[in-house]
Amino acid sequence: MSRKPISLPPEVAKEFVADMRAFFAEPDPIKRDEIVARQLRALRPCSPRTMRKLRLADVHEMFLQMRDHD
């Protein structure tokens, strides 16, 4: 099933990248979870209706996949 890409406003995209970098630089797992939660709250309003069920684990996985593609 193909999904429509998420279209993010530039400021949300910049915050995503900044939080992703902070996530990988943070050794404390609780603080890493806080970063993921912040991005979850930021991404939900930008998501298509079908993506409204975005979860913490989904954002965490996005961070990991983005790192693997760097």
Write out the residue range of the structural domain in which residue 32 sits.
Answer: 10-68
* Straight-line distance from the first to the last Cα atom of the chain, in angstroms, rounded to the nearest whole number: 25
Domain-located, residue 2: no
Domain-located, residue 61: yes
Domain-located, residue 21: yes
| Local confidence pLDDT in tens for the 70 residues of the chain | 455 666 778 898 899 999 999 999 999 999 999 999 999 998 888 766 655 678 899 899 999 998 876 5
Q: Is the full-model pTM beyond 0.75? A: yes
What is the total count of domains within the chain?
1
> Cβ contacts of residue 6 below 8 Å, gap of 6+?
43, 46, 47, 48, 51
Domain-located, residue 4: no
Domain-located, residue 1: no
For residue 50, the model assigns a pLDDT of 55
